[in-house]
C-alpha cells in the first residue's frame, strides 16, 4: 500500500476544495488534493455552473440573506431550545448542540465572510459583475463571476499549482484514518488502477460534493421516485457521497434535509449542462394526463421555481410540459429563460400539440379551455408582477394569467434536476466537523455540498458562495494543525 504524507489533505477539487487548498497553502501547509475526475474535468459542479451569488454588492450579501436561512433552518424546531441559539455557542446547553439545524452562528459567520471572500477571490484575478441571468423576473440581485464557475476553478487551481499543491486525479477517498484517540490522521483512497493508497496528514478537508451521482444513497434517503431525478450537470455524476458517508461512519453529526435536494426545472431532451426552462410563468404546466397541477406564477420566477419544480417531480414519471402560445415570443429577451438547446415542440392547434406530447388531445383541449375561461382580458406586461390572476379555476394562477389562444403553440418537457443534495455534515463556524455531541472532531473539516445547511427550500444563489467561504475557513484552520 502506497503512503503519501502532507500537511493537509483536501478531498475534492470544486470551489470548496480549491478554496480550502489555497487557504491552507497561504497558511504555510503543504497540500494534497484528491480528485475523482481526470484533470480535464476537474472542478466538480462548479466547473459547469454560472455561479450565481446572493449579494447586493461585492462586499455585502442581500438584505434577506440570514432571514431566508432562518426560515428554512429545519423542521418544526422546539421553540424552548431554539431561542437559546441566540446565545454564544459556548453557553448553549448540551442538548441544543445535538440538534440537526442550521445554526445561527454558522449562518452569521457565512454572511460576514462573504464580502471578504469575494475580495480574496479577486486577488487571484477573478472579476465579478451583475450580468444578465436566466431569470426574466427576480426579487433579489445576483452577482456573478465573469466566466462563471469555470473562472473560479481555473483561477484557484492555478494559484494552488503555483504554490506547490500536489494534485492526485482519478482517485477517490473511501475512508478516514484515525488514531486511538479519535484524531483524523488522513484518508484511504482508491486510484484508477483500483490500487489502495493512504494519504496521511495533520488535517483532512472533505469537499467532495453531495450524493447526486449515487443512486443507492438517493433511493435510501429520497425514496424510489429518485429515479426520475438527474444531476444538473456532468460534474454531479462524480458526486458519490463518500465524504458524507465516511464522516458519518466515524460518528460525525448529520445536518441538512437528507430527504431533499435543490430542484431546478430542466429539459430532459438536452445533454448540456443546466438546460433550464424558466419560461412557464407565461403559460401553463400540465402533466401527462393533460391536467394543470400548480400555480405557475405565484411570484417572480427566482423566488418560486424550486417549489414549482418539486410539484413537477411529484407528477406521473416526474415530468410535466410547459404549454405556451405565441404571446411569450414577444417578451424581450425571452430566450434568457430557456437555456435548453432543444427546440420547442410545436402545434398549430392545442389538439395537434397534445398528440405530439403523447397527451390525449381532448384532455389538453378541455384543460386549456377551462383555463382560458378563467382569464381576464388585459395588457400583457411580462417583466413585472402584474397581479393578473385567474378567477374560478383550481389551481389558481396568480400572475400573467392570459389565455393560451394565439397559435402557434409551443411546449417544452420539464423534469426536476437534482442540483445538489441537502443532507450532509454538521460544522461549526470554523468549518470543523462536529460529532453527535456537538464537539469538533480533531483534524476533520468540511466545506461545500458535504456540509448540510439547507432544509425545505434552498436559499438561492448561495451554494457556490458557501463552498468558497467555508472552504477558506477550513483551509485556514487546518493549516494551523501540527
CA distance 413 to 292: 14
Q: How far apart are CA 208 and CA 78, in angstroms?
A: 32
pLDDT, tens digit, 9 for 90 and up, residues 284-326: 999 999 999 999 999 999 999 999 999 999 999 999 999 999 9
Same-domain check for residues 438 and 321: no
SS3 readout for 306-333: HHHHHHHHCCHHHEEEEEECHHHHHCCC
**445 neighbors 431 (Cβ within 8 angstroms):** yes
Handedness of CA 371, 377, 380, 383 (dihedral sign): negative
pLDDT greater than 90 at residue 86: no
CATH number, position 327: 3.90.700.10
* Average pLDDT rounded to a whole number, residues 7-17: 98
Whether residues 377 and 244 share a domain: the answer is: no
Helix (H) or strand (E) holding 129: strand 128-129
CATH number at residue 194: 3.50.50.60
Q: Are residues 459 and 364 in the same domain?
A: no
Does residue 46 sit in the same domain as residue 186? Answer: yes
Are 301 and 223 within one domain? no
Last-in-domain residue among 396, 417, 438: 417
How many folded domains does the chain comprise?
2
Same domain for 239 and 103? yes
Tell me, yes or no, whether 39 and 174 share the same domain.
Answer: yes
pLDDT, one tens digit per residue, over 169-211 is: 999 999 999 999 999 999 999 998 899 999 999 999 999 999 9
pTM for the whole structure: 0.96
- Shared domain for 402 and 431, answered yes or no, is no
User: Same structural domain for residues 244 and 178?
Assistant: yes
Q: Is pLDDT at 1 greater than 80 in this prediction? A: no
Report d(CA 138, CA 304) in Å as an integer: 10
User: Could you give the residue ranges of the DSSP H alpha helices within 131-241?
Assistant: 148-162, 215-222
Distances from the Cα of 235 to the Cα of 109, 159, 197, 231, 420, angstroms:
28, 22, 24, 8, 11
Q: What are phi and psi of 419, to 5 degrees?
A: -75, -45
* Parent domain of 353: 264-417
The predicted model gives 420-437 an average pLDDT of 98
Q: Which secondary-structure segment (H or E) carries 425?
A: strand 424-425
Angle, to 10 degrees, between the axis of helix 104-122 and the axis of helix 463-478?
Answer: 90
Instruction: Specify the higher pLDDT residue, 155 or 2.
Output: 155
Residues 108 and 165 in one domain: yes
* Cα end-to-end span (Å), the chain: 25
Same-domain status, 155 and 288:
no
Residues forming beta bridges with residue 265, ordered by sequence position: 416
4 within 8 A of 452, measured Cβ to Cβ: no
Q: Which residue, 277, 280, 279, 282, is CA-closest to 381?
A: 282
Element (DSSP H or E) covering residue 81: helix 79-82
Q: How many CA atoms lie within 13 A of 356 on its CB side?
A: 17
Amino acid at each position: 500500500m502506497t503512503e503519501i504524507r502532507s500537511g493537509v489533505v483536501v478531498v475534492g477539487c470544486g470551489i470548496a476544495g480549491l478554496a480550502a487548498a489555497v487557504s491552507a497553502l497561504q497558511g504555510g501547509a503543504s497540500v494534497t488534493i484528491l480528485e475523482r475526475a481526470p484533470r480535464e474535468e476537474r472542478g466538480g459542479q462548479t466547473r459547469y455552473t454560472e455561479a450565481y451569488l446572493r449579494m447586493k454588492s461585492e462586499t455585502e450579501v442581500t438584505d434577506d440573506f440570514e432571514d431566508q436561512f432562518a426560515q428554512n433552518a429545519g423542521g418544526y424546531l422546539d421553540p424552548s431550545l431554539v431561542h437559546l441559539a441566540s446565545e454564544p455557542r459556548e453557553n448553549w446547553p448540551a442538548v441544543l448542540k445535538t440538534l440537526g439545524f442550521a445554526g445561527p452562528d454558522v449562518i452569521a459567520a457565512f454572511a460576514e465572510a462573504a464580502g471578504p471572500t469575494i475580495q480574496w477571490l479577486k486577488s487571484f484575478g477573478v472579476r465579478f459583475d451583475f450580468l444578465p441571468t436566466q431569470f426574466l423576473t427576480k426579487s433579489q440581485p445576483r452577482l456573478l463571476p465573469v466566466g462563471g464557475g469555470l473562472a473560479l476553478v481555473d483561477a484557484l487551481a492555478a494559484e494552488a499549482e503555483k504554490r506547490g499543491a500536489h494534485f492526485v486525479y482519478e482517485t477517490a477517498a473511501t475512508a478516514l484514518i484515525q488514531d486511538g484517540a479519535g484524531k483524523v490522521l488522513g484518508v484511504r483512497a482508491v486510484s484508477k488502477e483500483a490500487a489502495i493508497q493512504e494519504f496521511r496528514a495533520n488535517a483532512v478537508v472533505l469537499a467532495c460534493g453531495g450524493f447526486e451521482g449515487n443512486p443507492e444513497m438517493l433511493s435510501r434517503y429520497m425514496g424510489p421516485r429518485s429515479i426520475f431525478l438527474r444531476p444538473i450537470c456532468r460534474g454531479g455524476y462524480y458526486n458519490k457521497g463518500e465524504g458524507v458517508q465516511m464522516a458519518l461512519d466515524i460518528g460525525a453529526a448529520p445536518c441538512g434535509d437528507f430527504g431533499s435536494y435543490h430542484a431546478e426545472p430542466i429539459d430532459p431532451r438536452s445533454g448540456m449542462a443546466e438546460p433550464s426552462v424558466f419560461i412557464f410563468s407565461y403559460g401553463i404546466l400540465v402533466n401527462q394526463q393533460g391536467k394543470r397541477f400548480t400555480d405557475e406564477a405565484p411570484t417572480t420566477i427566482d423566488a418560486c421555481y424550486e417549489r414549482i419544480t418539486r410539484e413537477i417531480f411529484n407528477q406521473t414519471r416526474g415530468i410535466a410540459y410547459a404549454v405556451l402560445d405565441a404571446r411569450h415570443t414577444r417578451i424581450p429577451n425571452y430566450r434568457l429563460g430557456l437555456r435548453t438547446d432543444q427546440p420547442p415542440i410545436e402545434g398549430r392547434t392545442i389538439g395537434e400539440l397534445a398528440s405530439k406530447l403523447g397527451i390525449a388531445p381532448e384532455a389538453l383541449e378541455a384543460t386549456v379551455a377551462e383555463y382560458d375561461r378563467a382569464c381576464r382580458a388585459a395588457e400583457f406586461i411580462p417583466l413585472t408582477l402584474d397581479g393578473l390572476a385567474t378567477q374560478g379555476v383550481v389551481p389558481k394562477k396568480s400572475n400573467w394569467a392570459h389565455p393560451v389562444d394565439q397559435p402557434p403553440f409551443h411546449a417544452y418537457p420539464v423534469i426536476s434536476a437534482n442540483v445538489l443534495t441537502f443532507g450532509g455534515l454538521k460544522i461549526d463556524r470554523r468549518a470543523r466537523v462536529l460529532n453527535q455531541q456537538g464537539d469538533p472532531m480533531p483534524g476533520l473539516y468540511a466545506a461545500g455540498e458535504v456540509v448540510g445547511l439547507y432544509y425545505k427550500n434552498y436559499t438561492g444563489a448561495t451554494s457556490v458562495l458557501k463552498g468558497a467561504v467555508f472552504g477558506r475557513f477550513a483551509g485556514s484552520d487546518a493549516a494551523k494543525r501540527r
